[in-house]
Amino acid sequence: FCKEKKIPCLGISDTSNLCGALEFAENISKVGTQPIIGTQIYFKFEDTTGLLPLIALNENGYKRIIELSSRSYLENDALSDPHLDVKELLIDTEGVSLLSGTIQGLFGKLFEKGRLDEISKLYRSLSSKFNDNFYLEIQRHGDQNEIAFEKFNLEQSLKIQIPIIATNEVYYLTPDMHEAHDALTCIGSKTYVNEKNRIKYSNQHYFKSNEEMSKLFSDLPEALENNFNLPFKCNFRPQFSKPVLPNISSEKGGSADEILKKDSLDGLKEKFQKVFKIEENNLKTDDKFLKYKDRLDHELKIIIEMKYPSYFLIVS
């Protein structure tokens, strides 16, 4: 899709993880599209929990959002969904950009509860920490309460001097996929298409073109400008790396390679004595043993070339 449409840059924000980041970055980079790596994490403010998107601007920012994502799982009891306290966002902001999220996100939920003063205070705190890397998202999908939330965010932007950004939450590529996505949403929430009281999104969550976004936000040129400029702040993408494996060695036994060779051969000899009842003295002339030893040597050669002996020894 990126190749066909000549997309200059594209962002991903998996929910509660960064599982798609590496594969996404590798694939779209090959066709000349700049990947922008983010994640959506559940944050809790008092009795309300909701998603907030975080974007990595550089390697430090990437490490920070990975840390936050991991901690959202590790620092909760096994019964809770992964989440963090919203105060965590104020601790280390270097290399991270924060967006205010959708009407279904944390601030959207607080807005629907009428907690406007608390949102305003949080906006001020986040703005003072993130400076111009905190954006208020303006979205126009036609979802419920979106217009009222937009009006509130525009007022806050003027009042607190927080930049706005035009965003479109993409769930599918083309408008004709809306019906299938709606059915998928029902499967995910264990409801039915014909139920009235269920999660339902408008048919505007497709990948909009530059022209469509420009037309949709023609009255807010500064929001489009920030949308256009954000990729210039991002200069990082994850790369494939060799596995970081622990090393095991012994002064008596020699290197990990030698220990693995010795242990494996001893194990093979032991099995031959138990299974085939062939004594060790006779193994060197036994055709069956020599065939197995050739296979073992071949396997060991591959394991040693891949630098895995320490791993096998630790597991054993």
What letter represents residue 255's amino acid? S
Q: How far apart are CA 54 and CA 41, in angstroms?
A: 8
Q: What is the mean pLDDT of residues 256-267?
A: 93
Average pLDDT, the chain: 92
Quote the tokens at residue 296. 């073992």
Orientation angle between helical segments 287-305 and 256-275, nearest 10 degrees: 150
What 3-state class would DSSP assign to 80?
A: coil
Rounded mean pLDDT, 285-314:
93
Task: Give the pLDDT band (50/70/90) at residue 280.
Answer: confident
The yes or no reply on domain 2-170+207-233 and CATH 3.20.20.140 is: yes
Long-range Cβ pairs for the range 142-145 (8 Å, 24+):
142/202, 142/204, 143/102, 143/103, 143/104, 143/201, 143/202, 144/103, 145/103, 145/108, 145/111, 145/112
251: confidence class by pLDDT, cuts 50, 70, 90: low
Percent of the chain with pLDDT over 70: 98
Give domain limits for the chain: 2-170+207-233, 256-315
At 156, is the pLDDT very low, low, confident or very high (cuts 50, 70, 90)?
A: very high
Structure tokens at 109: 């939920």
Give Cβ neighbours of residue 77 (< 8 Å, ≥ 6 apart). Answer: none
Q: Contact at 8 Å (CB) between 51 and 92?
A: no
Torsion of CA 214, 217, 220, 226, to 10 degrees: -60
Model pLDDT for residues 53-100, shown as the tens digit of each residue:
999 999 999 999 999 999 999 988 777 789 999 999 999 999 999 999
DSSP reduced 3-state for 256: helix
Q: Residue 115 has which token pair?
A: 């907690």
Instruction: Say whether pLDDT at 159 is over 70.
Output: yes
